Amino acid sequence: MYMKKIAYFSLALALTACGGKTQMPEQSNDFTVETVRTAEADVNTSYPATIRGIQDIEIRPKIAGHITKVLVDEGDFVRAGQPMFLIDRVQYEAAVKSAEANIKVMQSNISTQELTVENKRKLYEKQIISKYDYDIAQNQLQAFKAQLAQSRAALTDAKNNLSYCTITSPSNGVVGTIPFRVGSLVSSASAEPLTTVSNISKVYVYFSMTEKQLLDLTRESGGIEKAIEAMPAINLVLADGSQYSQQGHITAVSGVIDQNTGAVQMRATFDNAGLILRSGGTGSILIPTHSDNAILIPQKATYDIQNKKFVYIVNQNNTVDSREIQVMTQNDGKSYIVTSGLKAGERIVTEGVNQLKKGMKINPITPQQAEKNRAKANQDLKDGKMPGEK
């Protein structure tokens, strides 16, 4: 076989040296052509999304004071009522004792004034004192009773403040960032919360679709509520590209269209029993759509010019013409779903489009014939035959 190839090469040199022209194999004008047809297709439309717990609760102190203990760490799972922070109790314990003492003082004053009123009453009945003096004594008793009520309210307030020295979790959830440490002075006016507790047993996933997409969806279903009910289960793709194991459902649509983006925010709900999803995470929502009459073409049948997609249409006389098409962004990596620019029954070139030019005449062949030609060429190569050799 090696000697055979040398012979061909020597013959080519001899023809060139004699001024003759080397006979090169003609380039094939065969191109694979397929007829555009409609078919059923399932396509996932992707939307960027952000993840939030069903409850993202800021933990803030109700009183001012220095933190004496931090009882949880970032990322811990906490239950409702579990202590998280301790604030210095000294001044609030003193306030409770002071309020308790005031109550005793008021109770003593009332007891004394009750005796005074009783004494004044007897004197008044004997007309030893005037009614004015008797009324003054009664009014003073009522004042002491009012002061006792105030002291009791102050005691309740002081006890509440003392209880606020232990800051507990309002719900089950995961602890967020803790910007404060032991010794930090905090108050209800602090700009930052002590931390955040996110209830992520379920999560809300927020995403947006365009106003037009929402109108199309609403029009097809007959209203927002019906559209939500009719929506299929949706999938969530995580930041690492993996697909979350649980499917979710769209549960709410915002009633306001963002004037800056022209988009409408939507909310989906996913179960998160394994606590894999965390509040603040990102991902993509995949909404499946089904089409009974989709036009699918191979991706290799297209070429790009300035971010626009084109195909070569084969006319009746087998000349090709370039045409721009629109395709869905989502695809399976092999085919495109054409949304405009093509219709069923038209013929397009599906292989070798980079070799074509507008107006070029071709010899259309079927994909089956193209496969046979490739198989024959591969066999000829194995047999050591030159291109075009019989």
What's the CA gap between 300 and 318, in Å, rounded?
A: 20
Both 106 and 216 in one domain: the answer is: no
Contact criterion met (CB below 8 Å) for 78 and 169 = yes
Q: How far is CA 116 from CA 20, 109, 110, 120, 141, in A?
A: 144, 10, 10, 6, 9
Give the model's pLDDT for residue 330. Answer: 66
What's the CA gap between 286 and 43, in Å, rounded?
A: 9
- Give 155-207 pLDDT, tens digit per residue: 999 999 999 999 999 999 999 999 999 999 999 999 999 999 999 999 999 99
Give the model's pLDDT for residue 94. Answer: 97
Contact criterion met (CB below 8 Å) for 186 and 61 = yes
Looking at the 3D structure of the chain, how many domains does it have?
4
User: What is the domain-level CATH number for residue 315?
Assistant: 2.40.420.20
22 part of a folded domain: no
* CB burial of residue 1 (10 Å; 0-12, 13-18, 19+): exposed
Contact criterion met (CB below 8 Å) for 319 and 360 = yes
- Give 82-138 pLDDT, tens digit per residue: 999 999 999 999 999 999 999 999 999 999 999 999 999 999 999 999 999 999 999
Both 275 and 357 in one domain: the answer is: no
Both 67 and 185 in one domain: the answer is: yes
Q: How far is CA 289 from CA 39, 150, 157, 243, 250, in A?
A: 14, 67, 59, 18, 14
Both 317 and 249 in one domain: the answer is: no
Both 317 and 353 in one domain: the answer is: yes
User: What is the domain-level CATH number for residue 220?
Assistant: 2.40.30.170
* Closest alpha carbon to 249 in 269, 230, 235: 269
Q: Which of 269, 291, 313 is the last residue of a domain?
A: 291
Strand pairing category for 83-87 and 166-168: antiparallel
Residue 310 tokens read as: 């084109």
Give the model's pLDDT for residue 385. Answer: 67
Residue 107 tokens read as: 């109770």
Asked if pLDDT for residue 4 goes beyond 50, the answer is no
Q: Give the containing element (helix H, strand E) for 253.
A: strand 249-257
What's the CA gap between 213 and 266, in Å, rounded?
A: 12
Answer whether 0.85 is exceeded by the pTM.
no
